[in-house]
């Protein structure tokens, strides 16, 4: 049996076990959590908190800060099988929930899980991997109140890039990269209403016009926001470095590295000017203090 067949055999065996032992929620459905949720989402429906928003279903059985999977949890087991075969990275790809009825404060839910599907190996943009789908079922007593098909891609990470990743150039962005090569910072301009926008796109978000043109920016602006990057390491760069979102004089905001400054000295409102940094086939806009 080759490695792929072993994975499929393990998947069949796990799927055949059906639902795992129910895991009971730490707390019953409760008004404080419902109020936090609806406030965070800006959902002012008067139905709450007498009932819980259906999309909270997963909240009630979250494992807390130190979750413990039960020994028969099929997702955990399938992840172990794929880890052992070298598929060590994971990304969630789909969550498909079905609600059978609303739940009310005081109900204590329990969740079970069964392995629904394992498909692979597939070539993906992230690397070769397997799509693993589990079927989660929430019950209140014996009654099923909600279900979820949860899919993840478990993949072999591609080798780390050794050079910086070039920007994606499309018909919409080519003018921008042509500009930086000639020392021009170009801002897309709607040919109908005149609105400036960045990053470039095919359609004006204000008036929906196509066929944009551009203006050349002064290259002067102020730090609108920034992050200091410490981790992870980036090939060819020394950490920490500063990535600044700069508000240009023309009113649009643009990202770039802020050079030659101690991260401690960066402040919102710091006046900066553009600097052009060759990188492979591209010239990237960056910033320096003025
Ligand atoms: Zn427009």
HEC string of 178-228? HHHHCCCCEEEECCCCCCEECCCCCCCCCCCCCCCEEEECCCEEEEEEEEE
- Alpha-carbon span 57 to 22, nearest angstrom: 15
Final residue of a structural domain among 121, 155, 189: 155
Residues 77 and 35 grouped into a single domain = yes
| Percent of the chain surpassing pLDDT 70 | 97
Report the CATH number that the domain containing residue 185 is assigned in CATH: 2.40.50.840
Coil, helix or strand at residue 249 = coil
What pLDDT, on the 0 to 100 scale, is given for residue 203? Answer: 94
Structural domain containing residue 283: 174-289
* 249 and 137 in a common domain: no
CA dihedral (233, 237, 238, 244) positive or negative:
negative
Find out whether 288 and 259 touch, Cβ atoms under 8 Å: yes
Contact between 286 and 221 under an 8 Å Cβ cutoff? The reply is no
* Residue 135 belongs to a domain: yes
Residue 160 lies in a domain: no
- When the pLDDT of each residue in the chain is averaged and rounded to a whole number, the result is 93
My answer on whether 139 and 206 are in the same domain is no
36 has a pLDDT exceeding 70: yes
Q: What is the pLDDT of residue 259?
A: 95
Q: Clarify whether residues 149 and 217 are in a common domain.
A: no
Look at residue 169 in the predicted model and tell me its pLDDT.
87
What is the number of structural domains in the chain? Answer: 2
Specify whether 21 is located in the same domain as 121: yes
123: three-class secondary structure by DSSP: strand
The pLDDT assigned to 80 comes to 94
14 and 146 co-located in one domain: yes
Residue 7 and residue 142 in one domain? yes
Identify the band that residue 288 occupies on the pLDDT scale cut at 50, 70 and 90. Answer: very high
User: Are residues 179 and 261 both part of a single domain?
Assistant: yes
Q: What is the pLDDT of residues 42-94, one digit of tens each?
A: 999 999 999 999 999 999 999 888 887 778 899 999 999 999 999 999 999 99
Where does a domain end: 125, 155, 185?
A: 155
Question: Rounded to the nearest whole angstrom, what is the distance from the C-alpha of residue 241 to the centroid of ligand 1?
Answer: 36
Same domain? For 39 and 106 the reply is yes
CATH number at 42 reads 3.10.129.10
245: CA distance to ligand 1 center in Å? Answer: 24
Please report the pLDDT score of residue 65 as a whole number.
86
Instruction: Tell me the CA–centroid distance for residue 247 and ligand 1, in Å.
Output: 20
Question: Does some domain include residue 167?
Answer: no
Q: How many angstroms separate the alpha carbon of residue 208 from the centre of ligand 1?
A: 6
Residue 168 lies in a domain: no
Question: Are residues 124 and 200 both part of a single domain?
Answer: no
Write b or e for each residue in 20-56: b if 16 or more Cβ atoms lie within 10 A of its Cβ, otherwise e.
Answer: beebebeeebeeebbeebbeeeeeeeeebbebbbeeb
In terms of domains, do 108 and 210 share one?
no
Alpha-carbon separation of residue 75 from 59, 115, 248 (angstroms): 18, 7, 48
Question: Is residue 84 in some structural domain?
Answer: yes
* Helix 74-84 × helix 3-16 angle, to 10°: 170
| Ligand 1 centroid to residue 191 C-alpha, Å | 7
161, part of any domain? no
Average pLDDT of the residues in 133-137: 97
The domain boundary residue, chosen from 155, 190, 225: 155
Measure 211 CA to ligand 1 centroid, in angstroms: 10
CA of 220 to the centre of ligand 1 (A): 24
pLDDT at position 27 over 60: yes
| Any domain includes 223 | yes
Q: Indicate whether 169 belongs to any domain.
A: no
Report CA(198)–ligand 1 centroid distance (Å).
Answer: 13
* Sheet strand arrangement including 196-197: 196-197, 186-189, 213-216
């Amino acid at each position: 049996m080759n490695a792929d067949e072993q994975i499929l055999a393990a998947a069949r065996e796990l799927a055949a076990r059906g639902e795992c032992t129910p895991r009971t929620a730490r707390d019953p459905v409760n008004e404080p959590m419902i109020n936090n949720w609806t406030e965070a989402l800006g959902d002012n429906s008067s139905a709450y908190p007498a009932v819980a928003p259906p999309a909270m279903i997963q909240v009630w059985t979250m494992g807390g800060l130190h979750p413990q999977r039960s020994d028969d949890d099929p997702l955990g087991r399938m992840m172990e099988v794929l880890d052992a075969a070298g598929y060590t990275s994971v990304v969630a790809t789909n969550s498909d929930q079905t609600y059978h009825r609303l739940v009310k404060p005081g109900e204590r839910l329990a969740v079970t899980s069964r392995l629904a599907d394992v498909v692979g190996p597939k070539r993906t943009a992230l690397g070769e991997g397997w799509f693993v789908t589990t079927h989660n079922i929430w019950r209140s007593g014996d009654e099923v109140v909600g279900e979820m098909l949860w899919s993840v891609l478990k993949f072999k990470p591609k080798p780390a890039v050794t050079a910086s990743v070039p920007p994606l150039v499309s018909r919409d962005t080519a003018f921008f990269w042509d500009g930086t090569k000639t020392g021009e910072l170009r801002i897309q301009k709607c040919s109908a209403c005149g609105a400036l926008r960045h990053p470039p796109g095919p359609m004006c978000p204000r008036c929906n016009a196509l066929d944009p043109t551009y203006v050349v920016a002064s290259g002067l602006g102020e730090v609108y926001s920034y992050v200091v990057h410490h981790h992870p390491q980036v090939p060819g760069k020394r950490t920490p470095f500063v990535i600044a979102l700069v508000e240009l004089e023309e009113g649009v905001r643009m990202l770039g590295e802020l050079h030659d400054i101690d991260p401690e000295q960066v402040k919102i409102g710091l006046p900066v000017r553009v600097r052009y940094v060759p990188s492979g086939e591209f010239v990237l806009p960056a910033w320096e203090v003025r």
